[in-house]
Amino acid sequence: MSRTSYSRSDGERPSTAVVNALAAHEDTDVGEIRPQLYDVVDPDALDALFGPRLDGRPRTSGRVVFTYLGHRVTVHSDGHVYVGEVDETAESGVTPVDE
């Protein structure tokens, strides 16, 4: 089973990291990826999910898992993004980040 690990750079939005991770996994240019991320998930909501808390402190836990272009994408609050094959036995969904 093929899996790609990607670490967000400082200031890189989670939604951008997902597209970059998928492009690396597929060994293609980000401009070639179709459908685009916003056709599958709301990129602003994804970015907000991992944004700082209302008091400005960073979120230290949480992840979101979804299927994109036949791949299982896992985004962690620590900045790691994993792209792998869809495991039909794995649950997809959202693990809420801390408030």
- The CA–CA distances, whole Å, from 10 to 2, 6, 28, 63, 69 equal 26, 13, 23, 18, 26
Interval 45-66 mean pLDDT: 91
Range of weakest confidence among 6-15, 50-59, 70-79: 50-59
Interval 88-96 mean pLDDT: 47
Band of pLDDT at residue 58, cut at 50, 70 and 90: confident
Break the chain into its structural domains and give their ranges.
Answer: 3-95
Enter the DSSP assignment of 15: H
pTM for this entry? 0.82
Band of pLDDT at residue 60, cut at 50, 70 and 90: confident
Question: Which of these, 6, 83, 15, lies nearest to 50 by C-alpha position?
Answer: 15
